[in-house]
A = this chain, B = another copy of it.
């Protein structure tokens, strides 16, 4: 019992027992259980990552070999230092696919069925039945990012007789997408789209991908949805596009700064849905997450390598 699995959060006893069944060499410890005499050099695995662990675990004497991230995105982690210390990294990609899909479907149907407009009329206690209502099937939906979440969303949309268009690094075809294009074709595809959904991970390439030029390219009737990462959007540019009504609507679940400041001007807009980073919230999270961790732990214990959800530290996803 000399090695530690250090976790940012607790897990139910059933999962701790499963870890012990694989190996009794490890002790599961949550960050709240760390005491003064805690031996940081015995931490071999972490579940999640905490900024104040950097000084303790990214040092020459470290035993840390594997970080299992709790999110799909790993943009907030010290990737370069993980690489220097040869620390393996895995993420929770795939867990949030259904949750984010459901969140986006809510927005797509609210938008196409006039429900955002209806809610604004309700707030003013006005029966306003002259609303813009479209068949979702008639709208051109551009999904930027064709990973697990994009695919799950495209699958649902295809069932609903929509024809989602995908954008990825090289335009390779992906199941359930009607068409796919390379990211270099983002501008011409944006010109044609009625709804644009960002699901990209945050990397150096995607930082402020959605800037003044991008929003100027969007149709005036089009909607922008962000369930990826806040910093992929130049928020000042988006704010201006919404104020000018040069785009119709934005639904944002992620922001450059979270929580959004009380006095952030985005709150004052009418043509926006602000949700507090909830799209990825997944009931039964522990169970789904532990399916990934336990399988990786078995593999790590036997071979020293991971078998699932490994992250390429160079590309960042």
Residues of A within 8 A of B (CB): 98-99, 102-103, 105-107, 109-110, 112-115, 118-119, 121-123, 125, 127-129, 131, 133-136, 138, 156, 159-160, 258-260, 262, 267, 273-279, 281-284
Contact A115 B160 (CB under 8 A): no
Besides the known contacts A105-B105, A106-B110, A156-B159, 16 further A-B residue pairs in the complex with CB atoms under 8 A apart: A102-B109, A102-B113, A102-B135, A103-B113, A103-B115, A106-B113, A113-B279, A114-B278, A114-B281, A118-B273, A118-B274, A118-B278, A122-B274, A125-B262, A127-B259, A127-B262
User: Are A125 and B267 in contact (CB-based, < 8 A)?
Assistant: yes
Contact B283 A127 (CB under 8 A): no
Copies of this chain, count: 2
Q: A102-B109, A138-B283, A156-B160 are contacts. A133–B262 as well, Cβ < 8 Å?
A: no
Cβ of A279 to closest chain B Cβ, rounded Å: 7
Distance in angstroms from A204 CB to nearest chain B CB is: 28
Chain B residues, CB < 8 A from A283 = 133-135, 138
A128 to chain B, nearest CB (A): 6
CA distance A13 to B277 in the complex (A): 50
Question: Is B102 touching A112 in the complex (CB atoms < 8 A)?
Answer: yes
* A129 and B284 contact, CB distance less than 8 A: no
Give the complex CA separation of A279 and B278 in angstroms.
Answer: 27
Give chain B residues whose Cβ lies under 8 Å from the Cβ of A106: 106, 109-110, 113, 115
Cα A179 to Cα B112 in complex, Å, equals 31
Question: Taking CB as reference atom, which chain B residue is nearest A119?
Answer: B119
Provide 12 A-B residue pairs closer than 8 Å at the C-beta atoms, listed in order of the A residue.
Answer: A106-B109, A118-B276, A122-B273, A127-B260, A127-B276, A131-B281, A133-B283, A134-B283, A135-B282, A135-B284, A156-B160, A159-B159
Residues in B with CB closer than 8 Å to A118 are: 273-276, 278
